[in-house]
Amino acid sequence: ETGVTQTPRHLVMGMTNKKSLKCEQHLGHNAMYWYKQSAKKPLELMFVYSLEERVENNSVPSRFSPECPNSSHLFLHLHTLQPEDSALYLCASSQDQATSTYGQYFGPGTRLTVT
């Protein structure tokens, strides 16, 4: 596989459930990102990891918990979510934390619905 992959592609969960989103990049990049895309809103940066260390937590509620076990994998653990958390969650990666030269590459996203 090439590029950035995300699983699952679709997820429906109740407010009391616990689930995890997975992202994997096959590009040899050192930085990975989680974004949230809600209807009619610009993409919002949630978390940034560089060399497996979190460098940004953009005021995200604690019911979202990221994990980066190595530079190729990124997880987003979800628990006690709210209906307003329903959105498309996008993962991205870049060569390094400073993406000025090469830009960011995005996965296909996970469509999350919280019931």
Partner 1 sequence: KQEVTQIPAALSVPEGENLVLNCSFTDSAIYNLQWFRQDPGKGLTSLLLIQSSQREQTSGRLNASLDKSSGRSTLYIAASQPGDSATYLCAVIGVVADYKLSFGAGTTVTVRA
Binds partner 1 (CB under 8 A): choice among 7, 54, 55, 77:
55
- Selected from 21, 48, 74, 81, the binder of partner 1 by CB under 8 A is 48
Taking the least distance from each CB to partner 1, the nearer of 48 and 68 is 48
User: Of the ranges 11-19, 41-49, 67-75, 77-85, which one interacts with partner 1 (CB under 8 A)?
Assistant: 41-49
Which lies closer to partner 1 via its Cβ, residue 75 or residue 108? 108
The single-letter DSSP state of residue 43 is: -
CB nearer to partner 1: give 13 or 45.
45
DSSP string, 53-106: EEEEE-S--TTEEEEEEETTEEEEEEES--GGG-EEEEEEEESSS--TTT-EEE
50's CB contacts (< 8 A; 6+ apart) are: 30, 31, 96, 97
Strands 73-79 and 110-114, by their bridges, are: unpaired
| Chain residues in the site for partner 1 (CB under 8 A) | 4, 6, 31, 33, 40-43, 45, 48, 50, 55-56, 88, 90, 92, 94, 97-109, 111
